C-alpha cells in the first residue's frame, strides 16, 4: 500500500492549490499506473475523475503523458485540474 501515502499527498497538494483561487495554476493527475512504453498517439482527458480503460485499469505511458502536458501548454484549457489516461 505504498501508493496510499502518495495518493494522500497528491490530494493535499490539490487542496492547497484550490485555496489559491486567484493564482494561475494547473494541477495534472496522471492515471494510477504511469509506466514507460510506446506512445499510443492518443490519450483521454478528464477533470476530477480517474480515467479507467476498457480493461478496468487506470494507466498511461510516460510518452503519452508528455504529449498531454505539451498539448495543455500549447492549447491551454480553462480547467484547473486535469486527469489523463489511455
Give the pLDDT band (50/70/90) at residue 1. low
Q: 60 pLDDT band (50/70/90 cuts)?
A: very high
pLDDT digits (tens, 9 = 90+) for 33-59: 899 988 988 899 988 888 898 999 999
Residue 61 has pLDDT above 90, yes or no: yes
59 three-class SS: strand
| Number of independent structural domains in the chain | 1
DSSP state of 45: E
Q: What percent of the chain has pLDDT over 70?
A: 98
* HEC-encoded secondary structure of 22-37: CCCCCEEEECCEEECC
Asked if 63 and 86 touch (Cβ cutoff 8 Å), the reply is no
Q: What is the CATH number of the domain that holds 75?
A: 3.40.50.720
> 3-33: per-residue pLDDT in tens?
788 778 888 888 888 898 778 888 888 898 8
- Owning domain of residue 76: 2-85
CA distance 73 to 37: 22
Amino acid at each position: 500500500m505504498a501508493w496510499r501515502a502518495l495518493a494522500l499527498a497528491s490530494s493535499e497538494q490539490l487542496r492547497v492549490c484550490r485555496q489559491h483561487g486567484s493564482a494561475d495554476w494547473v494541477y495534472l493527475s496522471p492515471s494510477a499506473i504511469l509506466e514507460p512504453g510506446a506512445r499510443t498517439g492518443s490519450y483521454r482527458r478528464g477533470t476530477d475523475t480517474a480515467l479507467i480503460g476498457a480493461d478496468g485499469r487506470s494507466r498511461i505511458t510516460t510518452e503519452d503523458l508528455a504529449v498531454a502536458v505539451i498539448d495543455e501548454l500549447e492549447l491551454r484549457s480553462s480547467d484547473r485540474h486535469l486527469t489523463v489516461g489511455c
